[in-house]
Amino acid sequence: MTRVINFGAGPAMLPRDVLTQVAAEMLDWQGSGMSVMEMGHRSAAYGRILTAAESDLRELLAIPANYHVLFLQGGATLQFAMVPLNLMRGGSGGDYVVTGDWSARAAREAARVGTVRIAATTGEGALGHIPAQNRWQLDPAADYVHLCANETIAGVEFNWVPQTGTVPLVADMSSNFLSRAIDIERYGLIYAGAQKNVGPAGLTIVIVRDDLVGYLRSSAPSLFDYAAQAAAHSMVNTPPTFAIYIAGLVFKWLKGQGGVKAIEARNVEKAALAYAAIDSAAGFYVSAVAPSDRSRMNVTFTIARPGLDAAFLAGARERAMVQLAGHRSVGGMRASLYNAMPVDDVAKLASYLGEFARSNG
């Protein structure tokens, strides 16, 4: 069996130890005589899996007791709508900070539900960056402020948390969830699709402060109600049982790695390796992101000379490095370095970047 080095942006690589355990438990989960996939979601055995997943996640992020942890479906895209449907409750609407494609999509979806103001934007064609907060136009009467903590396509990441006063801050952390230490209390709501740093596609995690739930717009489907999901421990209907089980194993793996602070240190090291390789061949490789706002998770770059992309990807493939092509909407290259990516594999990428630049520069 040959495992490749998978730089895909999501669904993305998972820790090898987790996959090995899933394989070992596939036919008989801990003497139950069945796969987790075959277990009733309200069985005692599955209850233990769900409870452990939630408590491990709470421990990893030090989630205070007044925050609910929800295991939902519909992807981060459904949260683009669920956030306004639950949180727009008589204020002046949502303030959106647009720093790339995902936050733009979130704003467009929310505009279908209610009033959306673009509080700040990177601007078309500008170098990817996070606008400084003194350039944001925030409305103190807003229902919430929304941002995307890490723009997966552009490779632009917040490494600071804005001050929004009493207005709840909502963050899409789909592509940097659990990759760095965060102070949950700075946020009213965090959401993340699982398929990058947490587990398989099909699971979306929502962490929401308890005073923000209970206000679903009356015309909205009841399944979209954070309060109902919280009261039912994410079991208003059948939850994505197998995806939650795998996420739970990833949480245990992360604890075994030393927790979020330890993984963050490794992520800093990995990003530094990749960006150093790009910068040391500056001119050959082009990074379109302001250095202070470069994503640790999604390293984006282009090859300046036209016509070399296919050769770059083919050479990478020969070295077992796959899924390095950029998002279909922007082209170029993107190396996603999520938690499961070992430092050694990023070092291999860095050395290939240098080699390719030397032989084609």
Ligand X SMILES: Cc1ncc(COP(=O)(O)O)c(C=O)c1O
C-beta of 10: minimal distance to ligand X in Å? 5
Closest CA to 10 of 338, 359, 361: 338
Closest CA to 234 of 256, 261, 208: 208
- SS3 category, 149: coil
Contact 345, 15 (CB under 8 A): no
- SS3 category, 5: strand
How far is the C-alpha of 328 from the C-alpha of 323, rounded, in Å?
A: 12
C-beta of 348: minimal distance to ligand X in Å? 25
Q: Which residues are near ligand X by CB under 6 A?
A: 10, 75-77, 102, 148, 152, 172, 174-175, 193
- Angle among Cα 72, 83, 242 to the nearest 5 degrees reads 10
Closest CA to 171 of 114, 319, 34, 160: 160
How far, rounded to the nearest angstrom, does the alpha carbon of residue 17 sit from its chain's CA centroid? 21
C-beta of 140: minimal distance to ligand X in Å? 27
C-beta of 142: minimal distance to ligand X in Å? 21
| Residue 196 annotated to the active site | yes
Looking at 143, 196, 270, 345, which residue is catalytic?
196
Looking at 56, 95, 143, 172, which residue is catalytic?
172
- Between 148 and 316, CB nearer to ligand X: 148
Q: Which residue has the tokens 């398989």?
A: 200
- Between 193 and 248, CB nearer to ligand X: 193
How far is the C-alpha of 189 from the C-alpha of 212, rounded, in Å?
A: 8
- SS3 category, 319: coil
C-beta of 102: minimal distance to ligand X in Å? 4
- Between 76 and 271, CB nearer to ligand X: 76
How far is the C-alpha of 276 from the C-alpha of 346, rounded, in Å?
A: 11
C-beta of 193: minimal distance to ligand X in Å? 3
- CB-based closest residue to ligand X: 75
How far is the C-alpha of 306 from the C-alpha of 209, rounded, in Å?
A: 49
- What does 206-228 look like in DSSP terms, one character per residue? EEEEGGG-S---TTS-GGG-HHH
Looking at 56, 95, 102, 143, which residue is catalytic?
102
- Between 105 and 255, CB nearer to ligand X: 105
- Between 81 and 231, CB nearer to ligand X: 81
How far is the C-alpha of 275 from the C-alpha of 298, rounded, in Å?
A: 11
Q: For the purposes of burial, counting CB atoms within 10 Å of the CB of 237, is it exposed (0-12), middle (13-18) or buried (19 or more)?
A: exposed
From the CA atom positions of the chain, what is the Rg in Å?
A: 21
C-beta of 148: minimal distance to ligand X in Å? 5
Supply the residues annotated as catalytic.
Answer: 102, 172, 196
